[in-house]
Amino acid sequence: MSVAIEVSGLEKSYATGWLGRQERALRGIDLQVECGETLAILGPNGAGKSTLLLVLAGLRHPTAGRWKVRGSVGLVPERPALYPGLSARRLLWLCGSAQGMAESELGTRVEEELERLRLLPFADRPIRALSQGVRQRVALAQALLHKPDVLLLDEPLGALDPQSALALVDVLNAEKARGATLVVATHRLAELAGTCGEVAYMRDGALWALGPTGSVLQRLPSRITYGMADGTAGTVSVAQVVADPDGQEAAMAALRARGGRVIRVEPDVTAMGGLSSDGSVPRP
Amino acid sequence: MRALGPLVWQVVGDAVEERVYGVVPLFGLALVLGAPLVSASTLAGGTRAVLDLGWFGLWLSLSVLGGWMGLRAVGQDLRDRTAAILLYRPLAPSTWVASRLVGMSLVLGALAVAMGGVWAGIALAWGASLSTQWVWAVLLLWSEATVIGAMAGLFSALGSRLFAVGSTGALWVAGHLSAEYGRLTAEAEMAWVSTVVFTGIPDLDRFNVQEALVHDLHISTMTALGVIAYACIWVVLLHALTAIVVSKRDLA
């Protein structure tokens, strides 16, 4: 199988403050994504996930290292900046023209994407009048318009309600079935776990783990979403309940003993701790 | 290059949405109200007052609009990161910058024609007879405004809005003084320094044909076309520099 994305020794630093102190956003990233593969990138805020996607899209210049993306790219940034005065339909026309799409094909594709992402009722309103969730779908439509070979998505579920999130997962599965390579930076792996074949875990600009979803998730700290008898609910990390961060079962038992009901257990990608270089979870 | 047309029309559409055309009636109103005052206070004839004031108003309006549009079309798109969803496709930065400059120039051209028309109407009502000088004056002011817009575009790609406004303003002043400064320093020691410095900035005084217009002096077609060609050379140069700056920047 051919490689869609190839990254080697990628570094990115920013000058900060008056003295231009260098902050390293990416530290020697090595990564390969096969054509048609779907990779989820997990990690706490500031881990470098967005920077990596923006470098892959050619919007940020790396300080060192090499990267190669084969084929056309579609990008959904975390906070998509869309021309606020344009309508969704006009924006899609503009993006398609910038892509070099023929007018006849563009007209058909614009309408197809507006319909697929349930944007037709909002298609002619100015983007500034749309809710954050609808804007997110417009951002996805511009990324999908030219049927890209590689789709880069940064927190695509971030502003979506549960129903829209499910619809989006269907769209991503359809793109995967079309043969597109997907790279998704997300905090919400639960919805995308079935879509992603591989998971990468980033922390402090470095890639800490990369591999099949199941094996990487087993090595990540967990967090538990629970409900109490009085109707309250919450989310805690395992380490907050029991001393041993690996004691997932003990933590669930402790919550049940307090009258709680375990709703969901998922990897705690925002945890302060991360994986150590040998893949084990460091002790607090 | 297929992308250029829609991108150009986007700039035009933005300008329409911003209601830049509102400057046309304001210009007409200022001319109608100001001409009698200028005429009375300077003892100049009414016709001359209308020509003088009209030229000055058009020059100032187009210069300010050119600078503002250059800042907006290039710098604001980069600052707001709205350009990113176009430039990752990948769209060549030179095409994107060209679309900004062409769109801006079209808007400035439309405004120059509209304001020039208002000016001509009022001048005719005051009894002036208009000749080709008037057409050249409007064309040259449009060219100057396009150069100013291209300067503002470059500076807004390089730095903050404040930096862009300050640099464009400084270059605008220096550009109007460059010929004068060159004459003053021609005989001085180290004259080559001033020659180098003032060759490196556009000589905006070339676009000034106010005297010829007011005194009905002939402006040869070759001279006028030469000045327009000079403007084109500067716009192309500024476009190339802006495209290089954009290609080197992080865009998101």
Helices B132-158, B46-70: crossing angle, 10 deg rounding: 30
pLDDT confidence band for A231 (50 / 70 / 90)? confident
pLDDT at A239 over 90: no
pLDDT at B12 over 80: yes
Whether chain B has a CB inside 8 Å of the CB on A165: the answer is no
How many distinct structural domains can be found in chain B? 1
DSSP H or E stretch at residue A191: helix A189-192
pLDDT (0 to 100) of residue A1:
67
Q: Which amino acid is at B109?
A: G
Per-residue pLDDT of A142-177, as tens digits, reads 999 999 999 999 998 877 888 888 888 999 999 999
Minimum distance, in Å, between the CA of residue B156 and any CA atom of chain A: 18
Q: Domain check: are A18 and A38 in the same one?
A: yes
Q: Domain check: are A116 and A255 in the same one?
A: no
Residue A281 lies in a domain: no
Cβ neighbours of B250 in A, within 8 Å? 54, 59-61
Residue A272 lies in a domain: no
Q: Domain check: are A139 and A241 in the same one?
A: no
Q: Domain check: are A114 and A60 in the same one?
A: yes
How many distinct structural domains can be found in chain A? 2
pLDDT at A71 over 80: yes
Per-residue pLDDT of B156-173, as tens digits, reads 999 999 999 999 999 999
Query: What is the C-alpha separation between A258 and A252, in angstroms, rounded?
Result: 10
Nearest neighbour of B91 by CB, restricted to A98, A139, A142: A98
CA A94 from chain center: how many Å? Answer: 25
Q: Which amino acid is at B69?
A: M
Per-residue pLDDT of B54-102, as tens digits, reads 999 999 999 999 999 999 999 999 999 999 999 998 889 999 999 999 9
DSSP type of residue B91: P
Helices B132-158, B161-185: crossing angle, 10 deg rounding: 130
Nearest neighbour of A98 by CB, restricted to B3, B14, B81: B3
Query: What is the C-alpha separation between B212 and B206, in angstroms, rounded?
Result: 12
Tell me whether residues A81 and B80 touch, CB distance under 8 A. Answer: yes
Residue A151 lies in a domain: yes
DSSP H or E stretch at residue A144: helix A132-144
Query: What is the C-alpha separation between A272 and B7, in angstroms, rounded?
Result: 45
pLDDT (0 to 100) of residue A164:
84
Q: Domain check: are A212 and A239 in the same one?
A: no
Q: How many Å is the Cα radius of gyration of chain B?
A: 19
Tell me whether residues B84 and A97 touch, CB distance under 8 A. Answer: no
Could you list the residue range(s) of the whole structural domain that residue A134 is in?
3-218
Residue A49 lies in a domain: yes
For A252, what's the count of Cα atoms within 13 Å in the CB-facing half-sphere? 13
Q: Domain check: are A237 and A162 in the same one?
A: no
Any idea what the CATH number is for the domain that residue A11 is in?
3.40.50.300
Whether chain B has a CB inside 8 Å of the CB on A62: the answer is no
Tokens at residue A5, please?
Answer: 């994305």
CA B203 from chain center: how many Å? Answer: 12
DSSP H or E stretch at residue A26: strand A21-34
Residue A73 lies in a domain: yes
Q: Domain check: are A194 and A127 in the same one?
A: yes
Tell me whether residues A57 and B2 touch, CB distance under 8 A. Answer: no
pLDDT confidence band for A244 (50 / 70 / 90)? low
Residue A282 lies in a domain: no
Tell me whether residues B5 and A97 touch, CB distance under 8 A. Answer: yes
Give the best residue of B7, B76, B82, B88 to mutate against chain A (max A CB count within 10 A).
Answer: B88
CA distances from B250 to A110, A155, A214, B84, B98 (A): 29, 20, 35, 9, 19
Q: Domain check: are A92 and A209 in the same one?
A: yes
Tell me whether residues A77 and B252 touch, CB distance under 8 A. Answer: yes
Altogether, the residues listed in chain B come to a count of 252
Q: Domain check: are A169 and A135 in the same one?
A: yes
Nearest neighbour of B3 by CB, restricted to A80, A85, A100: A100
Q: Domain check: are A105 and A245 in the same one?
A: no
Residue A278 lies in a domain: no
Alpha-helical regions (H) of chain B: 4-17, 23-42, 46-70, 77-79, 84-87, 93-125, 132-158, 161-185, 191-199, 210-214, 221-248
Q: Domain check: are A236 and A158 in the same one?
A: no
CA distances from A200 to A3, A38, A50 (A): 17, 11, 13
Tell me whether residues A99 and B17 touch, CB distance under 8 A. Answer: no
Tell me whether residues A100 and B2 touch, CB distance under 8 A. Answer: yes
Per-residue pLDDT of A168-219, as tens digits, reads 899 999 999 999 999 999 887 777 777 888 999 898 899 988 888 877 776 6
pLDDT confidence band for A283 (50 / 70 / 90)? very low
**What does the pLDDT average to over B139-159?**
96
Lowest mean pLDDT among A217-221, A226-230, B68-72, B117-121: A217-221
Nearest neighbour of A98 by CB, restricted to B7, B82, B250: B7
Q: Count contacts between A and B (CB, < 8 Å).
A: 71
Q: Is the ipTM of this complex over 0.85?
A: no
DSSP H or E stretch at residue A34: strand A21-34
User: Which residues of B, range 66-105, sit inside 8 Å of A by Cβ?
Assistant: 80-82, 84-91
Residue of B nearest to A145 (CA): B89
Percent of chain B with pLDDT over 70: 97
Q: Domain check: are A173 and A213 in the same one?
A: yes
Tell me whether residues A73 and B7 touch, CB distance under 8 A. Answer: no
Sheet of A260-267, strand order: A233-237, A222-228, A260-267
Q: pTM of the entire structure?
A: 0.83
pLDDT at B153 over 50: yes
Tokens at residue B244, please?
Answer: 């290089």
Cβ neighbours of B251 in A, within 8 Å? 59-60
pLDDT at A9 over 60: yes
Residue of B nearest to A73 (CA): B89
**What does the pLDDT average to over A119-142?**
94
